[in-house]
Amino acid sequence: MLPMPGSPAFSAAMFRQRVRALFDGVDWNIAVAFWLFGLINNILYVILLTAALDLVGPDIPKGTVLLADVIPSMVVKLTAPYYIHVVPYGLRIWILAAISTCGMLLVGFSSTARDASGIAIKMAGIVLASMSSGGGELSFLGLTHYYGSTSLAAWGSGTGGAGLVGAGAYALLTTTFGLSVRGTLLASAFLPLIMIFSFFVLLPHGPLQTARSKNSYEALPGEDETDPEQAAETNGLLSQRDDSRTSPAYTHRSRLQMAIDSFTSKLRRAQSLVLPYMLPLFLVYVAEYTINQGVAPTLLFPLSESPFKHFRAFYPTYGAIYQLGVFISRSSLPFIRVRTLYTPSVLQILNLIGLTAHAMYPFIPTVWFVFAIIFWEGLLGGLVYVSTFAAIREEVPEEDREFSLGATTVSDSAGICLAGFVSIGMEKALCGWQVQHGRDWCRKL
């Protein structure tokens, strides 16, 4: 006898059926590979943000680290979609892994230096890690175009896992187990080896080889170069065309014109992505990273009313809780989709307003309520991220999808970049306000 609709048994049965349907036929090599791509590509970025206080000290705003960690990534995401297609994915992986490893080694070896030269070396290392992260995000999201919805869901979950593992492990190792900041950062420099293993060992290359054969087609002027299904047929017909079209002068002109046409076409595509996808993603990241870097360092309570022994512990704990929310929401794509992307963006802005108001005029009675708000903040940010790219996969024509997935990644970096500038002034202003009103805890970090 089947359970009645609306009963607990019916709901449980429907849930089990939904789960079985979701995972039926999943290629686990693809799922695990893309989960590891998301994890490793983002984990160094998260570790550096979580370590911001230890890297620059209490006198330099943590937004400085945020800017060094995001501006190079934003520049890469803004420019690379127009030229990175000429670099094979396999070569990209080696380049990205090498850059990120070098960056983390620079940061690790100079982690204890607080003079100007030491700070400069650390910032240079952060810049390298940021460039690798930006190039990796647009590359792997573009790669999901060839590996289906499973790859996007796994990538999103992996990026959320990066936040949880990166922030949580850093807080645990340096706070609970007392491992040195230097040792933690140097050990993390070897994590990109996992990304290399995932691409060359785990990931099946059949879909990528098919894509490579399609991308080898070069359309002649006036033809639809975005129709890959006609590529093989067209290549076969090239030999039947007028010989004048194969002359060196004509080939040079046609290739130059194709490059110009391709660039202008991509610019038009990027413009069409702004309102439906880029803007809500931009807004949610402005709000949440302003909270994380500008407001969170001032969300302090008396130690006697908190679970901590030192004020320093508040900041990495907030980061770990935020990343837990991000991990849960970025892993929810097979179950939950946000169709109206602007709604969670507005809710995130309200979180920013509320926590800023509390930093100035304390009204939240306990730090546990702040923990809940930070967790909610992470949920909202992760939902917008995965829902945005899922919408692109569903709504953007197939011939434009790979470019659109990569181009839209600039939105989160642009939002984080703006938040970094805002956070530098906001943290100083809020801390100064608190000191003037008898709460000097932010000076004791």
Q: Rounded to whole angstroms, how far apart are CA atoms 59 and 421?
A: 16
Which pLDDT belongs to residue 228? 41
Tens-digit pLDDT profile for residues 146-175: 888 889 999 999 998 887 888 778 878 887
Instruction: Output the pTM of the full model.
Output: 0.74
Query: What local confidence, expressed as pLDDT, does residue 231 receive?
Result: 41
**pLDDT score for 310:** 87
Statement: residue 230 has pLDDT above 50 = no
Q: Which residue has the tokens 């990796």?
A: 136
| pLDDT for 251 | 58
Direct distance between the N- and C-terminal alpha carbons of the chain, in angstroms, rounded to an integer: 63
Does the structure show a pLDDT above 80 at 187? yes
Local confidence band at 36 (pLDDT 50, 70, 90 cut-offs) = very high
Residue 366, both tokens: 């306990």
Instruction: Please state, in angstroms and rounded to a whole number, the distance separating the CA atoms of residues 402 and 266.
Output: 11
- Is the pLDDT confidence value at 418 over 50? yes
Q: How far apart are CA 321 and CA 381, in angstroms?
A: 13
pLDDT of res. 364: 95
Q: What is the pLDDT of residues 271-308, one digit of tens each?
A: 889 899 999 999 999 999 899 889 999 999 999 999 98
Angle at 319 between CA 419 and CA 356, to 5 degrees: 50
Between 145 and 351, residue with greater pLDDT: 351
Pick the CATH number of 27-205+272-444 from 3.40.50.300, 1.10.579.10, 1.50.10.10, 1.20.1250.20: 1.20.1250.20
* 271 C-beta neighbours (distance < 10 Å), count: 10
Model pLDDT for residues 126-137, shown as the tens digit of each residue = 999 999 999 999
What does the domain layout of the chain look like in residue ranges?
27-205+272-444
Q: How far apart are CA 31 and CA 202, in angstroms?
A: 10
